[in-house]
């Protein structure tokens, strides 16, 4: 690692620590020439995930975009942001663990709806109405009826 101060290519590692839940390593180094200390981060390169939109366009997978949609769906509901963050992190982890490099928005939406159904019914219906682009109130009613018939209760909700 090149020294930030003198440009020397040799340094020694004084301390190494895992950060970001083990996804990166923080190293404290000391230059062998000028003895200045500096910190480096080592992180594995991640392959990009490409999202194929309904109209055929391709975009980079963006966790923040999904998170924003979930926060909007759960607006004025008593759902902590950490719940939404965990859902999005689990989605990304599942995609990466299955080596998925390209995915349709429909599959992402279905994954989110499956999880949302167990978190909050209102957020589920709000997200579904936008994701599935309900054309009228009858389509909306059919979705509500399916949800009621399935009998799946959100986690933490008293029966």
Pairing of β 102-104 and β 50-52: parallel
**Token pair 């690692």 in the structure block, residue:** 1
Q: How far apart are CA 73 and CA 88, in angstroms?
A: 14
Distance of CA 22 to the CA centre of its chain: 17
What integer pLDDT is reported at residue 95 of this predicted model? 93
Runs of H (alpha helix) within 74-120: 81-97, 105-119
Query: Taking the mean position of all CA atoms in its chain, how far away is CA 84?
Result: 9
Residues 127, 37: Cα–Cα separation, whole Å? 50
Spans of all domains in the chain? 11-43, 50-150
pLDDT one digit per residue (tens) for the chain, 159 residues: 899 999 999 999 999 999 867 778 999 999 999 999 999 999 888 889 999 999 999 999 999 999 999 999 999 999 999 999 999 999 999 998 899 999 999 999 999 999 998 999 899 989 988 888 888 889 888 888 888 887 766 665 544
Q: What span, in angstroms and rounded, lies between the C-alpha atoms of 37 and 29?
A: 6
Q: What is the pTM (predicted TM-score) of this model?
A: 0.68
Six token digits for residue 91: 């989605």
> Tokens 């924003």 correspond to what residue?
68
pLDDT at 10: 95
Q: Closest Cα to residue 92, out of 117, 70, 69, 112? A: 112
């Amino acid at each position: 690692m090149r020294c930030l101060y003198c440009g020397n290519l040799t340094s020694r590692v004084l301390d190494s620590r895992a950060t970001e839940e083990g996804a990166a390593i923080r190293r404290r180094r000391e230059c062998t020439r000028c003895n200045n200390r500096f910190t480096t981060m080592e992180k594995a390169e991640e392959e990009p995930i490409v999202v194929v939109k309904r109209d055929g366009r391709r975009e980079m997978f963006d966790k923040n975009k999904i998170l924003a949609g979930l926060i909007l769906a759960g607006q004025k509901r008593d759902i902590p942001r950490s719940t939404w963050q965990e859902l999005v992190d689990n989605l990304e982890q599942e995609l990466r663990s299955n080596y998925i490099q390209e995915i349709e928005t429909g599959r992402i939406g279905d994954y989110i709806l499956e999880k949302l159904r167990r978190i909050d019914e209102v957020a589920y219906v709000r997200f579904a109405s936008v994701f599935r682009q309900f054309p009228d109130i009858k389509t909306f009613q059919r979705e509500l009826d399916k949800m009621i018939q399935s009998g799946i209760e959100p986690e933490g909700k008293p029966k």
